[in-house]
Structure formats: C-alpha cells, structure tokens
C-alpha cells in the first residue's frame, strides 16, 4: 500500500484512516519521532545521582537516560550492538556500567562500548574477529537538552535547539508552572484503546472540556464563559489553553443544567477535595499545554502533572502521568495538593473520561477510512491565538504541525 494522498486546503477535515493506517503509523515513527522533533524523555529529578538511569520510549525505539560521573545527562538507544538485546531491562536503577545480560557486553555511561566477554577467546582460541573496533559499536546516542527539569532528546541533527523549538510563549508557561525545584508525588501508567493522535487531539480540544467533563461546570472549576484563551506556537506544533476562575464574573452564558441533568443542591460529601489556595499571581486556575508530538503539561488548580502518550501501534497507546509538587510546599499545601490529585489520573473524577472516549472514537471510525472528521468549531483558519475556548483552533494546529513533518511522505493530489 502506498502512503495516502492528502493535500488539504485547510486542516478542518481529517481522514479517519490516519488513526488506523499501518503505513501512516510507520511513517510517523520515522518522520516524527525519529525526525525533527524534541521528545520528552523524563524528569531530571528521576536520575539525581551519577549512575542513576531510567528507560523510556521514543516512538517504538527503547531509550536509556542516564546521569554520568560528571553529572551530565545522556540518552542512548537501549539496544546492544551485539545481538540487539535490551541493555537495561528494568524501568530504573543505579549502575556503574551498562551491561547486557545476554552476552555481557558492557558500555560506559556515555554509551561507549567498554568491554566484551571473552573478547580474546579462551586458551588462544575463538574471540572477536581481527580488527574489530570498539569505537564503531557503541550505543546510538540522542541529542539531549533540559528545560525546567524536563529532559528532552532527539535523533535529529537538524532540529533547532530546544528553547527555539518550544518558543517564548510555551517556555513562559513552563517557567510559571515548573520553574521551581520539584519532586514527584506519584506516577500512573495505563493503556489507551486507540491511536496516540486521538489522545493528543483530546489534550488540545477545549470544546469538550465542559461537556464531557460535567464535574468541571457542576463545581465551577471550568466554564467556557470564564476568562481564558488559546495560544499556538508558530506552525501549530505546540499549544496552550488556559482559564481563570473569578467570583465576580457573570456566568449567564453557560448554564450547566441546560446541558446536563444536574440536580439542584448536588454537592460533594468531601468538599475538601477542592480546597486550595491562589498559587499563581496571574490567577490561572487551569492551564493545559501540549508539546509536539506527545507530551503535555497540566495545571489544574494546585495539581501539577506532566504526561507522555507513548504510541504502541496504530490502534493503541500508553499514557504515563507524573504528579509533581514544589519541594518547598508547606504541610498544609501538600495535603491540599494531594487531595486535589484525585481529580486526575486513570481513576480521577475528571480524567478518566478522556481515556474512555479515545476507545469509543477508535471503535466509531472503524471501517470509515474514506470519511473525515470535522474540526471547524471557531472557523477553519489557524490563528496564533484566540480569546475564545469554544474553538478547535488547537486541534487544527496539531494537524498543521503533523502535516509539516509528514508532507513529503505523501503524494500530492
């Protein structure tokens, strides 16, 4: 099968085939995840000391992230140069050298091949072929850069430095939310029954927030009439949507009872779940940011999370959550932050619906490869910003960025 033809006039109609086609998926792994993008690898605080490492994925490629003796963070492909075995089997650990258990080939913390078991043979017999060069058989390395404690890596020699890739607007929100010394409060990982792009569209979809997540408007966390907006990076690759809760703001434009069967007097038995404090001077109470291709940062009241959506094939993916907090929280702040964290995650009062709709959409579009979705809310254009969140601007931006990286993999009509 040849790659699908797609030469859109705009990005308001997306072929459903893009969520299931095997050739599209294979092209994404090469052109996006191994292409000119920066991929989230983990948190700096996950590997605090020399020799500490973690494993992750960039697309379908297993990767080791390790701190070396000088404190530098290195990333390399988790694949032994000998027979392709995983060098690091565990999710994390501490090592002096990276050792493949299959035949005991070892690598230093920069990924260089350090030693080979029985390299000179035994009793003058066997051993590696004459002229074998250690320097040519290290672990393939990624470029690594760190911003706000977030470790990113790329296989590309051409992609711009990370700060330029993110852009000023995206960095500003990262500085606001993550620009303090952080620690990890918890971590979730769970499967999603659908293509990775379905979830990343959902992250950027402001239209659904108060419709699918009835908890939001019921308890006044988010309403589309609240002050807020959408910002896109140049080319549409990244997005930020935000809102601010205000007690003196009229809510007449949004009546949750018209959209949901919410009974008068409906209330939480544990209202302390929503107790918090004004942590940010700007007044932002919800900020969701996506960094292309598959990473997001979220601030919901006082809950701070980062998420990685790992592709696992054309029709499934895995979502990994990290819940974060500044290390200088007071005991009262930490207690409130932990209670609020029940809003998110695979069993959260809000976030579990997102995982469900990914699977429902996958099932809904099965057999509809010749049809298209419609993402024309707010128009068909792609502006850099909007003060209306009743808008699918961010989703159109995702596809603009996706197409920019994938376009030469398609035939023009």
Read off the pLDDT of residues 349-379 as tens digits, 9 standing for 90 and up.
888 888 999 999 999 999 999 999 999 988 8
* Dihedral angle sign, alpha carbons of residues 268, 269, 271, 273: negative
Helix H segments across 285-351? 331-340
Please tell me the predicted confidence (pLDDT) of residue 265: 62
Asked if residue 206 and residue 264 are part of one domain, the reply reads: yes
Q: Are 25 and 1 contacting, i.e. CB atoms less than 8 angstroms apart?
A: no
Q: Is the pLDDT of residue 248 over 70?
A: no
Number of domains the chain is built from: 2
151 within some domain: no
Give me the sign of the Cα torsion angle 52, 57, 58, 64: positive
Do the domain assignments include residue 24?
no
Q: Is residue 203 part of a domain?
A: yes
- At residue 56, the pLDDT reads 98
Give the containing element (helix H, strand E) for 210. helix 209-212
Query: Is 15 within a domain?
Result: no
Does 87 share its domain with 191?
A: no
Residue 220's domain is classified under what CATH number? 3.90.380.10
DSSP H or E stretch at residue 311: strand 303-311
Residue 369 and residue 241 share a domain: yes
For 145-160, what is the mean pLDDT?
A: 98
Q: What is the pLDDT of residues 51-77, one digit of tens each?
A: 999 999 999 999 999 999 999 999 999
User: Residues 335, 190: one domain?
Assistant: yes
Domain annotation covers residue 201: yes
108 and 219 housed in the same domain: no
In a domain, residue 377? The reply is yes
Q: Say which residue, 49 or 244, is predicted with more confidence.
A: 49
- How distant is the alpha carbon of residue 398 from its chain centre? 13
Residues 127 and 192 in one domain: no
Taking 60 as the threshold, does the pLDDT of residue 254 lie above it?
Answer: no
Q: Write down which residue in 145, 176, 205 finishes a domain.
A: 145
96 shares a domain with 223: no
Please check the confidence at residue 271 and state whether its pLDDT lies above 60.
yes
The contacts of residue 82 (CB under 8 Å, 6+ apart) are 100, 102, 103, 105, 116, 137
Q: For residue 315, tell me if it sits in a domain.
A: yes
Same domain, 135 and 187: no
Instruction: Write the DSSP symbol of residue 262.
Output: P
Q: Which of 3-7, 209-213, 298-302, 361-365 has the lowest mean pLDDT?
A: 3-7
> In residues, how long is the chain?
413
Residues 367 and 300 reside in one and the same domain? yes
Beta-carbon contacts of residue 107 (< 8 Å; ≥ 6 apart): 76, 87, 97, 98, 99, 113, 114, 138, 139
Q: What is the pLDDT of residue 223?
A: 67
CA quadruple 118, 123, 128, 129: dihedral, nearest 10: 180
Q: Average pLDDT, stretch 294-318?
A: 97
311, burial (CB in 10 Å: exposed 0-12, middle 13-18, buried 19+): buried
Of 130, 145, 160, the position where a domain reaches its end is 145
Alpha carbons 98 and 307: distance in angstroms, whole number: 27
Are the C-beta atoms of residues 369 and 16 closer than 8 Å to each other?
Answer: yes
Tens of pLDDT along 78-130? 999 999 999 999 999 999 999 999 999 999 999 999 999 999 999 989 999 99
Helices 196-204, 393-406: inter-axial angle, 10-degree rounding: 140
Contacts of 143 (CB under 8 A, 6+ apart): 153, 154, 155, 156, 157
Residue 95 falls inside a structural domain: yes
Domain of residue 112 covers 39-145
Q: Are residues 135 and 172 in the same domain?
A: no
In terms of Cα–Cα distance, which of 365, 383, 385, 363 is closest to 374? 365
In the predicted structure, residue 267 carries a pLDDT above the cut 90: no
Give the CATH number, domain containing residue 119: 2.102.10.10
Q: Is the pLDDT of residue 192 over 80?
A: yes
Asked whether residue 320 falls in the same domain as residue 233, the answer is yes
Q: Are residues 275 and 339 in the same domain?
A: yes
Q: What is the mean pLDDT of residues 246-259?
A: 41
pLDDT for 409: 60
Given a cut of 70, is residue 4 above it in pLDDT? no
Instruction: Report pLDDT for 224.
Output: 67
What is the DSSP annotation of 354-410?
Answer: HHHHHHHHHHHHTT-TT-EEE--TT-S---SEES-SS--HHHHHHHHHHHHHHGGGS
């Amino acid at each position: 099968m040849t790659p699908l033809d797609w030469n859109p006039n705009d990005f308001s109609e997306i072929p459903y085939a893009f969520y299931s086609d095997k050739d599209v998926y294979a092209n994404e792994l090469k052109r996006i995840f191994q292409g000119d993008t920066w991929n989230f690898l983990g948190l700096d605080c996950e590997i605090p000391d020399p020799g500490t490492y973690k494993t992750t994925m960039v697309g379908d490629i297993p990767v080791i992230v390790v701190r070396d003796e000088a404190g530098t963070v290195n990333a390399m492909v988790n694949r032994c140069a000998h027979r392709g075995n995983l060098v690091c089997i565990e999710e994390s650990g501490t090592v002096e050298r990276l050792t493949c258990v299959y035949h005991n080939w070892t690598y230093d913390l920069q990924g260089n091949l350090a030693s080979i078991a029985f390299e000179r043979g035994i009793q003058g017999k066997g051993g590696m072929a004459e002229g074998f060069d250690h320097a040519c058989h290290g672990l393939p390395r990624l470029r690594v850069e760190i911003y706000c404690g977030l470790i990113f890596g790329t296989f590309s020699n051409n992609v711009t430095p990370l700060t330029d890739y993110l852009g000023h607007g995206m960095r500003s929100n990262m500085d606001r939310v993550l620009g303090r010394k952080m620690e990890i409060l918890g971590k979730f990982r769970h499967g999603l029954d659908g293509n990775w792009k379905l979830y990343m569209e959902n992250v950027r979809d402001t239209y659904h927030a108060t419709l699918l997540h009835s908890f939001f408007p019921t308890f006044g966390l988010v309403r589309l009439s609240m002050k807020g907006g959408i910002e896109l990076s140049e080319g549409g690759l990244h997005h930020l949507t935000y809102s601010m809760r205000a007690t003196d703001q009229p809510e007449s434009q949004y009546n949750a009872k018209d959209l949901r069967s919410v009974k008068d007097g409906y209330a939480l038995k544990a209202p302390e779940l929503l107790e918090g404090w004004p942590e940010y001077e700007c007044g932002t109470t919800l900020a969701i940011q996506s960094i292309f291709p598959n990473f997001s940062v979220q601030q919901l009241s006082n809950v701070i999370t980062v998420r990685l959506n790992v592709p696992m094939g054309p029709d499934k993916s895995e979502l990994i959550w990290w819940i974060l907090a500044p290390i200088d929280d007071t005991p009262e702040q930490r207690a409130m932050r932990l209670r609020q964290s029940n809003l998110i995650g695979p069993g959260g009062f809000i976030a579990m619906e997102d995982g469900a709709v990914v699977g429902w959409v996958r099932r809904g579009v099965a057999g509809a490869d010749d049809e298209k979705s419609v993402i024309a809310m707010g128009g068909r254009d792609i502006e850099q910003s909007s003060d209306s969140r009743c808008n699918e601007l961010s989703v159109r931006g995702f596809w603009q960025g996706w197409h920019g990286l994938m376009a030469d993999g398609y035939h023009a009509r």
